[in-house]
Chain A
């Protein structure tokens, strides 16, 4: 059996605000969990709780000592000097820590494999400043993979990317997850993208959540209730349109726990 991450009744208060309440789910090896929800719903907070940056007020995460098994791609990456360095250097910085300043043959081989997997070989000698947004995201993904993680946490890796780049980045994450058996938690605002690649969907809003398979979650009725506005899904459930009219019940009254 592969690596499993379990969250049990995780609650987080930030100031007077209840950001997460009794969130429970299990992420299996090789599983792709898409996380959706409005801004300020606690999606990034959830990742920080898993990373151990924020301590939950209540609940338990197992295994507890998981720092070395998580690869994290943060939402924003303000870099100055970092932008001027070579892609290969940037990827190799993610390798497990060592007091040896040079890379071993094995480490070089591993970096090359990750570069091939994330399809960044053609510009691996360039500096990051020369890359497009989609190429940069693939480089960040490669660096996180260099740690040989069992779980990958990606915080809106496709925001600010054009549709083609969004597809490419998400499909690489999906393929990597399948090939290496890595559990993925992928935050996005794009319902179409998430429903196309995820195995399950976690919907978060302040103090409430819902989790289920794509088929269960991506229905007009469910999504409209979750978002508190009209969401139209097409017949095969693969494309969505969110309308501005407020026709549904607000999310605060919603309670759904999918297949959990």
Chain B
């Protein structure tokens, strides 16, 4: 399996994104941003379609749209954006735009499949480097802002009372999340970004109440699911995303059972 460049690159990119997704996911769950993550991925789809229409690299369009939307959401206020109606409107408008850009561009069939369902085995070394650099930035920011982010995510009332710059933290986190989503879209696709950003963290939450252990656990579960998914995908020729999501589903259900039994 590792004799092939494309598999080595898939493992590298998948591992990097899994580590980042597992880490940032703990805060996504704590801040109740699962559906905003989902919305970002759809906005990213529209951005990638726009890039294809313009003749750019799809990843750049994806990153541009998700980052801009993160800043807008941060300015508007997450509470406003979290409302059902707001999410429905934004999701619909951006999906509609994506379809328009696709209709206007000539090169669309493989692109649609790659963006919606992921294309980890089609990733080149150049993309791996790009993912590695962006992930390092996200990782560094999460580590430097760890204490403030932890406080604001797990106890927003206490953080505000302690005088933390909660609005700045919120905007900063959304920008990091938008970068993470843009990267994850390439691995699992826009439809399943949810998977990497939420399930490992939700599972870890059931296993331990310690935030540090939760992060480690979430990263390990995320990496394990990507590795197993890639391996099974290679040997069975079935979609890797299917295996990643199924494995994470199994982890989650097992964690619920563990949680119930240990109470």
Contacts and interface: CB of A to CB of B under 8 A. Distances in A.
Interface of A: 51-52, 67-68, 70, 72-74, 76-82, 84-86, 88-90, 93-95, 97-101, 126-127, 140, 143-144, 147
B212 to A, nearest CB: 8
Given A74-B157, A93-B151, A101-B143, A68 B163 contact: yes
Interface residues of B, number: 28
Contact of B209 (A52, A76, A89, A144): A89
Nearest to A80: B32
Which 10 residue pairs are nearest across A and B when measured between Cβ atoms?
Answer: A127-B209, A101-B146, A72-B161, A81-B30, A86-B209, A67-B163, A93-B151, A82-B154, A82-B155, A99-B144
A26 B209 CA distance: 42
A93 B209 contact: no
A140 B161 CA distance: 12
A89 B210 contact: yes
Nearest to B212: A89
Given A72-B161, A72-B162, A101-B146, A79 B205 contact: no
Interface of B: 29-32, 143-148, 150-151, 153-155, 157-159, 161-164, 205, 209-212, 214
A81 B153 contact: yes
Given A68-B163, A81-B29, A93-B151, A86 B210 contact: yes
Contacts of B32: 80-81
B154 A81 contact: yes
A28 to B, nearest CB: 23
Contacts of A97: 147-148, 164
Contacts of A140: 158
A84 B205 contact: yes
B147 A77 contact: no
